[in-house]
Amino acid sequence: MESQNITLSLPKAILREVKHLAVEKGTSVSRLLAEYLERMLTDDEDYRRCMERARRRMRKGFDLGTEGERGWDREDIHER
């Protein structure tokens, strides 16, 4: 994948911590951020796919084994 440089402004304290994290992981700050952003995009796409699947299921409905009939009425539910 082709790369492009960007300018990023971060608070000094955060940048210091990120540099330490990159050293611990044996990578660069640039690679660390790229991996994080890639993971964020993948997670977002997975979430969107799951939400669409859930919406399709909700539109279709579920078979509850009642064949569309209910065996109770409001009074049965609130009976004491």
Instruction: Dump pLDDT digits (tens) for 30-76.
Output: 999 999 999 999 999 999 999 999 999 999 988 888 887 888 888 88
What average pLDDT does range 18-40 have in this prediction?
97
**Residues ≥6 apart with Cβ < 8 Å to 15:** 29
Alpha carbon 75 to chain centroid, angstroms:
42
Residue 58: how many other CB atoms lie within 10 Å: 9
Which of the pair, 42 or 77, is modelled with greater confidence?
42
The torsion of the CA quartet 32, 38, 40, 42, rounded to 10 degrees, works out to -150
